[in-house]
Amino acid sequence: MGEFDSGFRDRVVVITGGASGIGRALGERFAADGARVVLADVERDRLERTVEELGKSAAGEVAGITADVTDPASVEALAAGVYERFGAVHVLINNAGVGAPSAKPWETTPNDWRWVHSVNVFGVAHGIQSFVPRMIASAEPGYVVNTSSGDGAINPLPGASVYAASKAAVATLTECLAAQLAADGARIGVSLFLPGGGLLDTGLWTADVATLRERAGRLRDGKYPTLTDSHGILG
């Protein structure tokens, strides 16, 4: 992130899947560096707790927006809300992810594929579609980070074919995005993030999928993002 060698103080950082796991850890780190962090997640209660907890010790600002990355209208509302409040986005981290139960490819279900790809692949695409045009128009330096996995992008995990395929797709999408932004001369860098260190405690494999789907359904019924910060609901 050469444009940000001087640090992230007062830079605006948006992180999807920010209520827990890797997203929360990234938010904590950016906030410690003085960034203005916006965490987005479909799990409203957990998001509010995370925003409150991180806000107590952050050198920067921590806010939260409830959003469903599987829904393009919800992600567009997220982008509109962030730009309305902060006027810019310097770093976008498309991090939200889910996993299906381990199974042989022929034992997976159509719903496994729809669910995982709606979050892991379409969620990244929706983030790019809603934020990148605004980032380009601002002419400010920016960076897009897409979270993938070595279990898909490098060495596909045979027992998790649905997840591995989704993360391989994210890797390809990221390469295409980087090439096209460079060709257009945009001041926006792109990276593929491959978390390491073995099996991480992200909640990916233990999440209550039924609960997440029910919450996502409520968002699709028209209850789109609500901005929250360490002081409560902002409206």
**Would you call 224 a catalytic residue per the annotation?**
no
Planar angle of CA 127, 233, 223, nearest 5 degrees: 55
Point out the catalytic residue in the list 83, 143, 163, 224.
163
DSSP string, 113-143: HHHHHHHHTHHHHHHHHHHHHHHHHHTS-EE
Question: Is residue 140 a contact partner of residue 117, using CB atoms and an 8 Å limit?
Answer: no
Question: Is residue 170 a contact partner of residue 144, using CB atoms and an 8 Å limit?
Answer: no
Q: Six-digit token pair at 136?
A: 């380009």
Question: Is residue 21 a contact partner of residue 200, using CB atoms and an 8 Å limit?
Answer: yes
How far apart CA 24 and CA 36 sit, in angstroms, is 14
One-letter amino acid of 92: L
Residues taking part in catalysis = 163
